[in-house]
């Protein structure tokens, strides 16, 4: 009998995410499953999904409805701002809705524009990986530092691919080494 998912287990899963309208927002390929260490609350799995995986076994298939708080969190209006296009020019060349502005480097704060200082302050408080371009206006761009699914209630359709003991190095690092063995997917 296969092992149960519990703290310190290395787990791989595949899943799809749907909104409440039943539209598929994202699918994880069975050829590139998500690996995580159970019980470590790391960034590659949302809290509600990790809780739902507790006690499951390899081969288990299930669906779970998660509120935005259990998934990617509430939408934070403080992470949305309008920025002059000229302030973004050093960071991106092309502007398109859905485009992404990555985190800024830790340069000398005295040399940063007002917009760049705002980004640094937001990053220091909330640690977003970047900002999504939500709207392009004549001279400005509306940026959003929230996760694309923040504020959304979601359904996860999940299959557990593998459950194994994490290595000492994985436990010390707090994240798993991904495996090349994807043959467990049916």
pLDDT tens digits, one per residue of 12-70: 999 999 999 999 999 998 899 999 999 987 667 899 999 999 999 999 999 999 999 99
Backbone dihedral region for residue 39 (phi beyond 0: left; psi -120 to 50: alpha; all else: beta): left
Q: CA–CA distance from 54 to each of 6, 38, 96, 160 (Å)?
A: 6, 8, 40, 11
Return the pLDDT at 185.
42
Does the residue 186 lie in any domain?
no
Does the residue 50 lie in any domain?
yes
Tokens 């593998």: give the residue. Answer: 162
Please tell me whether the overall predicted TM-score, pTM, comes out greater than 0.85 for this model.
Answer: no
Does the residue 137 lie in any domain?
yes
pLDDT tens digits, one per residue of 84-107: 887 776 666 667 788 777 655 554
47 lies in the same domain as 100: no
98 lies in the same domain as 64: no
Domain residues for the domain of 126 are 77-144
State how many domains the chain has.
2
């Amino acid at each position: 009998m296969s092992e149960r998912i519990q703290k310190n287990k290395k787990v791989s899963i595949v899943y799809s995410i749907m909104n409440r309208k039943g539209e598929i927002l994202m699918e994880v390929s069975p050829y590139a499953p998500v690996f995580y260490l159970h019980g470590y609350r790391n960034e590659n799995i949302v809290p509600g999904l990790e809780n739902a995986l507790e006690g499951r076994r390899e081969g288990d298939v299930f669906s779970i409805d998660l509120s935005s708080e259990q998934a990617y969190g509430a939408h934070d209006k403080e992470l949305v701002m309008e920025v002059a296009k000229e302030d973004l020019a050093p960071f991106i060349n092309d502007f398109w809705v859905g485009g992404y502005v990555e985190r800024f480097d830790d340069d000398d704060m005295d040399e940063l524009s007002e917009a760049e200082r705002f980004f640094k302050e937001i990053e220091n408080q909330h640690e977003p990986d970047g900002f999504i371009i939500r709207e392009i206006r004549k001279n400005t761009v509306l940026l959003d530092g929230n996760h694309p699914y923040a504020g959304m209630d979601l359904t996860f359709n999940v299959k557990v691919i593998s459950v194994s003991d994490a290595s000492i190095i994985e436990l010390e690092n707090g994240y798993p080494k991904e495996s090349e063995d994807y043959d467990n997917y049916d």
